[in-house]
Structure 1
Amino acid sequence: MQRSLETEHYTLTDYCGWEGDWELIQGMPLAMSPSPGVAHQRVSMRIARQMDQALDQCPHCEVLFETDVEFSEDTVVRPDVLVICHPPKGDRLTRAPELIFEVVSKKTARRDEVAKFQLYQDEGVAHYVLVYPEARKAKVYRLTEGEYRKVGDFHDETHSFELSKCIIPCDFSRLWRRRA
């Protein structure tokens, strides 16, 4: 007699008790270690700095860096950089950000390009950007009628993200090199 294997399903309660860095997508735990490399952190910081500067005049929106987003009781992710245009619920994010940047590496490509792409689309994240430091390229998607439509591939161009309460320009050339 063959025994069926049941898939384990974890929740936010389980997640809060775990040691180390994890994400939880539809009850499935995904380890985030080892920590991101220098190139990943460098690009993430440049994105966050540029977004933060662009939001200096907007009293409604703010940029956050590696912050947990609790989409449901069994889904918690930690995007590299995100922009919210609503006040957080206490110290937690429980609503979809309007803009998410994920810096893609060989280790995270499948998660970022497939699992998170579908999750963010389903959760209503208005703009999703996949950033590829080695290729010096960013793929920008915009949610239209419930589906992501590709806006384009950006290398050294500027693109403006139209959020619900402001417009944020992003100069992608600034992600790959230091300003003079």
Structure 2
Amino acid sequence: MPGLWQTSHSRRRFTWSDYRNWPEGERWELIDGVAYAMAPAPSTRHQQVALKLASRFEQKLSGKRCRPFTAPIDVKLSEHDVVQPDVLVVCDPAKITPTHIEGAPEVVVEVLSPATATKDLREKKALYGRYGVREYLVADPLENYLQRYRRGEDGTFEAPEIFGPQETLALLELEDVAIDLWEVFELPPPEAEPTSAEV
């Protein structure tokens, strides 16, 4: 039974077939065949930030080729790698199946939780780079900032760009998609620059 498996020390490499046959109601991810139990239900703050980001993608991508999705949805990267990002954007319709996403999304967003932050910034970041995610966004809902990783030509992510809550994030892989982060983090907008008459 999955609940008895050691989340990071199991000697067996599990597969997509194993994963699909586990009991409903339990949330797991596979990274290199190792089963990782998903954290308990995320905090309300986590959910608010994830929902804000997803709604902005939905609004900006309306009528366009790319489509956003939110967790829980399975993303199968290989027979031994299955994850459930908080938010993702897929631009290739062939990757969208009735049950899951088959292959790497163009954009993946993870909203950090204390229990999963290390995995998101280490194992999952390496995984996303290896399988071709072009842009990886990591939002911190407590400190109110966002990191953007862009995949380099060698298949690994470059050093992150940091965006504060008073900045606008222009997506690199999605044309004409820019997100005001103060709206995502539910903070006051930046003060307007004074006009020449006010100086």
TM-score (norm 1): 0.90
Answer whether contact 1:44 1:80 (CA < 8 A) is retained.
yes
Q: Deviations over 1:19-67 (max 9, x none)?
A: 3011111110011141111111111000000111111142x10100012
Within-5 A mapping of 1:20-169: 20-58=26-64, 60-66=65-71, 67-87=73-93, 88-91=95-98, 92-145=100-153, 146-155=155-164, 156-163=166-173, 166-169=175-178
> Which structure is larger by alpha-carbon Rg, 1 or 2?
2
Say whether the 8 Å CA contact 1:54–1:168 is kept in structure 2: yes
Structure with the larger strand share: 1
Q: Output the aligned Cα RMSD.
A: 1.9
Query: What is the total number of aligned residue pairs between the two structures?
Result: 174
Q: Which runs of 5+ in 2 are unaligned?
A: 1-8, 190-199
Identical pairs, percent: 33
Query: Which secondary structure state, in structure 1, belongs to the residue aligned with residue 148 of structure 2?
Result: strand
Cα separation, 1, equivalents of 2:162 and 2:143: 11
Taking the aligned partners of 2:158 and 2:46, their CA distance within structure 1 comes to: 25
Q: Which amino acid aligns with 1:24?
A: L
- Quick check: 2:69–2:89 contact (8 Å CA) kept in 1? yes
SS at match of 2:171: strand
- d(CA) in 1 for partners of 2:11, 2:50: 34
* TM-score calculated relative to the size of structure 2: 0.81
What is the Cα deviation at residue 140 of structure 1?
0.7
Provide runs of 4+ in structure 1 moved above 2 Å. none
Most deviating of 82-91 and 106-115: 82-91
CA contact (8 A) 1:126 1:142 kept: yes
What letter is aligned with 1:64? F
